[in-house]
Amino acid sequence: MNVYLLLLVLKWMISSSLFAKASTFSTVHSEMGNSLTLHLEKEVQEKQIHEITWKKDKTLLAKLKNGTLLSNSMSVQIFPNGTLLLRKTRNTDSGNYTVDIYSKEGKSLSKAVYGVYLAAPTVYGISKKPLFLYLKNKIQNNTQSIIWKKSNTGVIFVKNLSVPDVSKISDKKYSVFEDGTLRLGHVEQNDTGTYTVEQSDGNNSILDAEYFELIILETDYFEEEEGQEGDSVEFNPLLWRMFNSSHFVWKKDNSTVAEYKLKSAICFKQLQNRCEVDGDGTLKLTRLQKDDAGIYSIHLYENGMIEDVGAVRLFITNTIEDAPIAMTTGTKARLFIKASPSEKAYDIHWKKRHSPIAQLSGQSYIYYRPYKNRISIHQNGSVEIHKLQKDDSGEYSVEFFYRHGIKERRIVSISVEDSLSRPTVKVQCLSEREVKFECLSNQYSGVSLRWLLNEETPVTNETLNSRRKNNILLLRGKLFGNISCHVENKVSKSKSDVVPFFCEVFLTVRVIYLLISLCSLVILLVIAVLILMCCKSQYKARRQRSYQRQIFLNDEVEDEDSEGDEPQSNSEYENEDQMSQTE
């Protein structure tokens, strides 16, 4: 584009030398698509003008004579004071314009030459990002088709734009919306160039044309910022390139919004009371509005020439957090989050926290690992995740991108849990005053557990003499009854069978043990007495037999002694008998 500018300047220099005899030579710069007015000098307007002739590059353009306009184009008009009006200028309108003023006598009163340079409005795009080219003029009622061109080469042709809410897609690169807007997806450096859009009627007559000069910036020159309505935001993509520049300009859609020059800062138009500019190039916007969304470009000037250019894309974002969702493992989750604005979103991005999982851009579907084979996204923005796993738990967000820099973010949290099986209760009597219960389930993490006594009384530390730890309950003082365990997580709940328990068995066993012990002792005593009595009886029997044997022996002795000795007296025998009895 700089080479083209240089050639055009050389052309004007040559033209100025050819028209050296002309009274004036002026240079006029304007944007294609705008109306252009070429004014005559005031002293010329005060003369008695009879005939005005305007030429473009020596070709008659229009003539005004005696108040009658002679022109072959409806876009050209000459006013009585000689002013020329060109409506909706095109790229072919650039060139040298010559005006000749004649008196009634045919005498030349004045002659002027205007070097007109018409440039397409510059639009900045960011490499690898989508881009929109908006029409300034609305689609006319009799428009039957439009064609977009790049450097006079057609890139997309669309018929019948009357179908509402439908984008006309030629391929993954270009798409045209119902209002004529052209969208380029993931632009690259080779997309730089001049773009033209032409509206045509059924007879292939061009009703309107607009032009755009597209410049693609690399990411080093680009930033993305987000803000909500009412907030403040700051941006400067050229902060480290500013050096000590004394002149830079901030633009939005080719309209200057702020300028810093010679230590003086000024904000224009709608940002006049909501804008601040620092000498380091930083632009600060306050009290953000929806219309503030878009691409802002900073132009750094050195010696009157543009030295560097950077851009910032500002999104006005509305963030909404939806109620959390609980799902069961193995099932399918459908996250249907409807966008609020009535305008159709051109891009829809799904993320899990900060990692992309699915994307819909125009008609292109993109899926990312590890969800690539388990997720699908629909045109309305909803997604389906199949065969849910516990690892799928987390925070999900969807971003809806709209053409004018409006972005809506919706956030939802998902909890994926296993379905609970029916728990069982294990009972263990620790003593006659303490019983232990254990609730057995297929999972414990993230599960709430409660106990019911006799199917009606919740067992808590406050209501009963109990102590709970995880899935174990220790109950004191209540030695009989019925107990049940109830478990619940975010996706299911279940309860055990009612289990009876009776712990007096400890007292009964002790009593029986005591009775057995007493009985054993009594039996032992009886046996001991019987044994003692038996021993005494046997002893007496032995003594009796001994005594009788002694008597027998004594009788034999007496018989022998009776033959030679005198018999003993009866008193001596009686004494021996008494001593025996005493023993």
SS3 per residue for 265-322: EEECHHHCCCEEECCCCCEEECCCCHHHCEEEEEEEEECCEEEEEEEEEEEEEEEEEC
What pLDDT, on a 0 to 100 scale, did the predictor assign at position 17? 43
Spell out the domains of the chain, with CATH numbers in brackets: 2-119 (2.60.40.10), 122-217 (2.60.40.10), 224-315 (2.60.40.10), 322-417 (2.60.40.10), 424-506 (2.60.40.10)
| Mean pLDDT for back-to-back runs of 10 residues, the chain (583 residues) | 45 44 72 83 67 86 80 79 83 86 79 86 82 82 85 81 50 76 85 88 80 83 85 84 74 85 84 85 89 86 78 87 85 75 79 89 82 85 87 89 84 86 84 80 76 77 56 73 84 84 59 77 87 82 76 66 49 47 44
What pLDDT, on a 0 to 100 scale, did the predictor assign at position 70? 79
What pLDDT, on a 0 to 100 scale, did the predictor assign at position 3? 41
Classify 77 in phi/psi space as left (phi over 0), alpha (psi -120 to 50) or beta.
Answer: beta
Nearest to 132 by CA among 189, 193, 174, 78: 174
What pLDDT, on a 0 to 100 scale, did the predictor assign at position 201? 84
Place of tokens 């700089």: 2
- Contact between 368 and 356 under an 8 Å Cβ cutoff? The reply is yes
What pLDDT, on a 0 to 100 scale, did the predictor assign at position 286? 92
Return the amino acid letter for 159: K
Torsion sign across C-alpha atoms 279, 282, 286, 289: positive
Residue 407: Cβ within 10 Å count: 19
pTM of the predicted structure, to 2 decimals:
0.63
